[in-house]
Every structure is written in C-alpha cells, then in structure tokens.
Structure 1
C-alpha cells in the first residue's frame, strides 16, 4: 500500500499544475468586462469543499456542480450540459 509520501511523490506536480491553471482561469475571468454567470459562482462555491479536511471531497465537489432538478425541461435550447447548476 502506498504511503502519503508515495502519493505526493507521484502526483504533487500534476495537482500543483491544475491548481495554478485554476487560479489563472479565475484571474482571467475576473479581469475581463461583463457579468459572470452561475458557472463562475458554482466554481467559487466548490472551493471551500476542496479546502475542507473531510473525506469524499471529489464527490462533494461533483455534487455541488451537478443539477439535482428532477422536472424535465419543457424544451431543450441546446444539446449538452452547463457543468454547474443554474441558480
């Protein structure tokens, strides 16, 4: 069974890169004009989950970015998903 150090040795640089990429994305969105929408707010709401010490963070982040509505849409305006629930 790998140790915490083994996991850090194997995956730290990849996680570091993803974190820097996310920070750059947030900076890029904030320095441009216009209003943000629910997707940006959804990402910001997920950050405290990421920073928590509770197990199951990946599931909790996924759940926070998922649409839990059960009523079918009257008409689809596009094919695909937004990646975050609309407020």
Structure 2
C-alpha cells in the first residue's frame, strides 16, 4: 500500500468532478505562457534560472512519484539557511538562482 493512499476523503472521481476545470485552466495558462516565450522576438532566456526551474518543475509534475507538490516547491525554494545581511532586491523572483551561489554572488 502506498504511504499516501487513503489520505484524501474524496474519491478520485469526486476530485475530478470538483477540480478538473480549475486545473485545466491553469494548464492552459502555463501552455499560453510557454507559447509566448517561444514566439518572443528575442530568444535570450534559455539559461534564465526561472525558466530552468520551470522546466524542472514540469518534468517533476509528469512523474507518478509521491509528493510532487513538495518536490516542485523545493525546486523553486531557496535552500540556504543563513539570512542575508541585507536585502539584495526589492521583490522576489519566484525561483532560486542556483548558479548565483556558484558564481560567488551570494
């Protein structure tokens, strides 16, 4: 028996009936975003850390592994434990730039 089996009180059919249209809309939003990226006038973001995280998250989404939400959340999360001495920007990026640490910018 799977570790997470039976942890939701709704049946699979009930979940589909309740949430399918919302999830469908979100997938269409993702597809539209990716289409706009592909059609942009300049292809200059292949190595952007946010797009790299997006591709990794989409790959994780397509697996049947348990706890996909945790896996995907961790892909986008900052793994560091030490607080910054000062803010380095005014807003969040939505993903963690792993290459930044390697370049000694953190």
Number of equivalenced pairs:
87
Higher normalized contact order (CA 8 Å, seq sep 6+, divided by chain length) = 1
- Secondary structure of 2:74's partner? helix
Consecutive unaligned residues of structure 1, counting only runs of 5 or more, are none
Which of 42, 50, 73 pairs up with 1:62? Answer: 73
Consecutive unaligned residues of structure 2, counting only runs of 5 or more, are 1-8, 100-106
Q: TM-score, normalised by structure 2?
A: 0.73
Quote the offset at 1:71 in angstroms: 4.5
Please say if 1:83 is aligned against 2:91: no
- Secondary structure of 2:44's partner? coil
Q: TM-score, normalised by structure 1?
A: 0.87
